[in-house]
């Protein structure tokens, strides 16, 4: 269904749109509920999954140093990273909240909420723009500070590079691997049949593994869909794949993404 074919009579701004949510299993439920409330039909099809590091020793050693009070900052750039730290520390996780020598930085509101829920800790730094690379400015002066950065194996290097350039002493460890979700045949068929109107990408990894899942023919069919991205980094990944984002959220959150999508369709009338 193209933009012009979408029913205009319904008062719900996304009425009639079939929107692909390619997040990891269990991660797209809240986004799907919001889409439904806006009148869209969400299609949940994971393109990514998460797995432990191939070598768990560096992460385990970093967690031991964290418990021993060797870090002044713990920077968490995803909800998954928070979950990994909480799982590694187990019952000892709430102790982080009471350690005055340790500050926590969170990439955005969802990650900050996970810190409160799983670690019992209030982040000391959340950047104005919800990008990992922006955490350095939110920290103040990181020069000479010992920083633990547990993130994905495919995480972009900008944050680590900025921290080192600012004089921080960084231990970056792989907390988890981002891997392709199984399947993809059904998703490729949906694309070829024109059964998807909007592709909603919340990270570059979901876009990359989407392309891998659907193959060349599916990716060609995907170019007929409207592409909406949560932020500029994800949009750039889409462009590298040959997809042209029509919507890029000004605020890199799920709410910001939906707000931008609604604004796009309201503008089209």
Q: List pLDDT tens digits, range 51-92.
A: 999 999 999 999 999 999 999 999 999 999 999 999 999 988
pLDDT of residue 57: 97
Residues of the chain with CATH 3.40.50.10090: 18-47+182-268, 51-179
Residues belonging to the chain: 269
State the fold for domain 18-47+182-268: Rossmann fold (3.40.50)
Least confident of 12-26, 88-102, 138-152: 88-102
Strand extents, DSSP E, 65-215? 73-76, 103-106, 146-152, 169-180, 198-201
pLDDT of residue 264: 96
When pLDDT is cut at 50, 70 and 90, the band that residue 5 belongs to is: very low
pTM of the model: 0.82
CATH label, 51-179, candidates 2.170.190.11, 3.40.50.10090, 3.40.50.300, 3.40.50.1820: 3.40.50.10090
Q: 90-114 as b/e, with b when 16 or more CB fall inside 10 Å?
A: eeebebbeeeeebbbbbbbebbbeb
Q: Which of 82, 46, 50, 83 is nearest to 201 (CA)?
A: 46
pLDDT of residue 224: 95
Positive or negative: CA dihedral 58, 61, 63, 66: negative
Contact 180, 206 (CB under 8 A): no
Burial class (CB in 10 A: 0-12, 13-18, 19+), 238: buried
């Amino acid at each position: 269904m193209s933009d012009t074919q979408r029913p205009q009579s319904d008062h719900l701004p996304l009425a009639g749109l079939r929107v692909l949510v390619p997040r990891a299993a269990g991660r797209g439920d809240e986004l799907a509920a919001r889409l439904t409330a806006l009148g869209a039909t969400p299609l949940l099809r994971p393109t990514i999954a998460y797995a432990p590091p191939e070598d768990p020793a560096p992460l385990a050693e970093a967690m031991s140093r964290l418990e021993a009070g060797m870090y002044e900052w713990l920077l968490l750039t995803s909800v998954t990273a928070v979950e990994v730290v909480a799982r590694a520390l187990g019952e000892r996780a709430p102790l982080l909240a009471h350690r005055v020598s340790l500050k926590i930085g969170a990439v955005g509101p969802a990650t900050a909420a996970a810190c409160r829920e799983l670690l019992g800790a209030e982040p000391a730094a959340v950047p104005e723009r919800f990008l990992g690379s922006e955490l350095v400015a939110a920290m103040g002066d990181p020069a000479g500070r010992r920083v633990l950065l547990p993130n994905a194996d495919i995480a972009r290097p900008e944050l680590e590079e900025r921290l080192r350039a600012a004089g921080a002493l960084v231990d970056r460890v792989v907390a988890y691997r981002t891997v392709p979700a199984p399947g993809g045949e059904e998703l490729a068929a949906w694309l070829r049949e024109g059964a998807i109107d909007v592709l909603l990408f919340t990270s570059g990894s979901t876009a990359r593994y989407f392309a891998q899942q659907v193959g060349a023919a599916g990716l060609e069919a995907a170019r007929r869909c409207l592409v909406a991205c949560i932020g500029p980094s994800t949009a750039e990944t889409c462009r590298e794949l040959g997809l042209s984002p029509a919507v890029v959220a000004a605020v890199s959150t799920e709410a910001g993404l939906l707000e931008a999508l609604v604004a796009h369709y309201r503008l089209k009338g």
